């Protein structure tokens, strides 16, 4: 994504009026002596930021650019015991959830069967990882076929902890995604930049490179949900502002439009992850291109996870 120039629509802006956000230049102050140029500039900047999604109307009574249901996933990571997970499942089973949301939880592998056998069918089960192909002599790995046998419908792939702690690269992740999709599992495809990459202005470069690895490998996007998770916001208590998250989501949708197809751009849900909780989910959900959430720590608390799921109501506008 090119940096927004300091002169748009013929209106020049002096260099001291710009601020680099780590994504592109954003405008902090404008010379009020030329209001016509100022208004024109904001219109032009807005057209750059809105990109493709500005051409799409609201779907029913929900303000979303993607054409699928709001999607909320809970990534339980390497947390829980049999007892604590039983309590969490009980809390989720008793929660009142909005009907127009797809909800998925990803327990640790050893508890998938327990969760599948006790959790309401309202919530689908995801795995946190899978192997690149059929099972065999791959110690410690889990095959897609085994996940399907347990009743999993989704798998989380490309999470930053797999990328930056385990060392999985883009092509390896793409290969996993391709095989999972070919066998009928849905894929929650994670992308996101490190703090130093954001500060260096490389957010879009990193996200687009990770997207390309998925695009080069997957046979279809019909069962792919993209999760934008800035690494600096995962488990840190820091969260991207709604505007920061929206800007990346718009850029991702535009990348899909230009590099895959307009249809995929329109249909693919792009969800946000990174310290999402019951207190910030409503404001994030109001953003047009945020189609849901991938939730970490807060998904381990049943009532709070229910609040996040029900934040879909923040998207609803009068018909």
Which amino acids are annotated catalytic? 159, 229
269: its two tokens: 């849900």
Q: Encode 45-54: b = buried (16+ Cβ within 10 Å), e = exposed.
A: beebbbbbbe
Work out whether the CA dihedral 207, 157, 195, 47 comes out positive or negative. Answer: positive
Triad 64, 70, 73: Cα angle to 5° = 140
Q: Which of 102, 154, 95 is nearest to 278 (CA)?
A: 95
How far is it, in rounded angstroms, from Cα 316 to Cα 318? 7
- Please check whether residue 191 is in contact with residue 10, taking contact to mean a CB–CB distance below 8 angstroms: no
Per the structure block, which two tokens stand in for 101? Answer: 């949301």
Q: Answer for the pair 310, 302: CB distance below 8 angstroms, yes or no.
A: no
* 308, 277 Cβ separation under 8 angstroms: yes
- Do 155 and 187 form a contact (C-beta atoms < 8 A)? yes
Separation CA 149–CA 220 (nearest Å): 22
| Residues paired with residue 38 on neighbouring β-strands, in sequence order | none
Q: Residue written as tokens 């797999």?
A: 162
d(CA 180, CA 197) in angstroms, rounded, equals 29
* Bridge partners, 101 (sequence order): 70
| Cβ(207)–Cβ(192) below 8 Å | yes
């Amino acid at each position: 994504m090119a940096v927004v120039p300091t002169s748009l629509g013929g209106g020049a802006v002096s260099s001291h009026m710009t601020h680099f956000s780590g994504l592109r230049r954003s405008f902090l102050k404008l010379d009020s002596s030329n209001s016509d140029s100022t208004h024109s500039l904001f219109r032009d900047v807005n057209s750059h930021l809105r990109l493709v999604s500005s051409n799409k109307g609201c779907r029913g009574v929900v303000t979303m650019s993607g054409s699928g249901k709001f999607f909320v996933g809970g990534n339980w990571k390497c947390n829980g015991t049999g007892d604590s997970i039983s309590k969490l499942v009980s809390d989720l089973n008793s929660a009142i959830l909005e009907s127009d949301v797809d909800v998925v939880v990803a327990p640790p592998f050893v508890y998938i069967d327990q969760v599948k056998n006790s959790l309401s069918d309202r919530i689908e089960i995801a795995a946190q990882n899978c192997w690149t192909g059929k099972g065999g002599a791959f110690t410690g790995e889990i095959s897609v076929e085994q996940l399907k046998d347990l009743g999993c419908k989704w798998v989380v792939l490309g999470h930053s902890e797999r990328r930056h702690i385990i060392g999985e690269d883009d092509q390896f992740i793409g290969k996993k995604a391709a095989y999972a999709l070919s066998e009928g599992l849905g894929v929650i495809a994670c992308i996101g930049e490190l703090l130093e990459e954001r500060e260096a202005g490389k957010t879009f470069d990193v996200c687009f490179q990770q997207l390309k690895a998925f695009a080069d490998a997957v046979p279809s996007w019909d069962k792919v949900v993209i999760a934008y998770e800035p690494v600096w916001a995962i488990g840190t208590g820091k969260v991207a502002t709604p505007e920061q998250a929206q800007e990346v989501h718009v850029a991702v949708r535009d990348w899909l439009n230009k590099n895959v197809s307009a249809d995929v751009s329109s249909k693919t849900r792009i969800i946000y992850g990174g310290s999402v909780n019951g207190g910030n989910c409503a404001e994030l959900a109001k953003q047009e291109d945020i189609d849901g959430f991938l939730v970490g720590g807060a998904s381990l608390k049943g009532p709070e996870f229910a609040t996040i799921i029900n934040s879909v109501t923040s998207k609803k506008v009068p018909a």
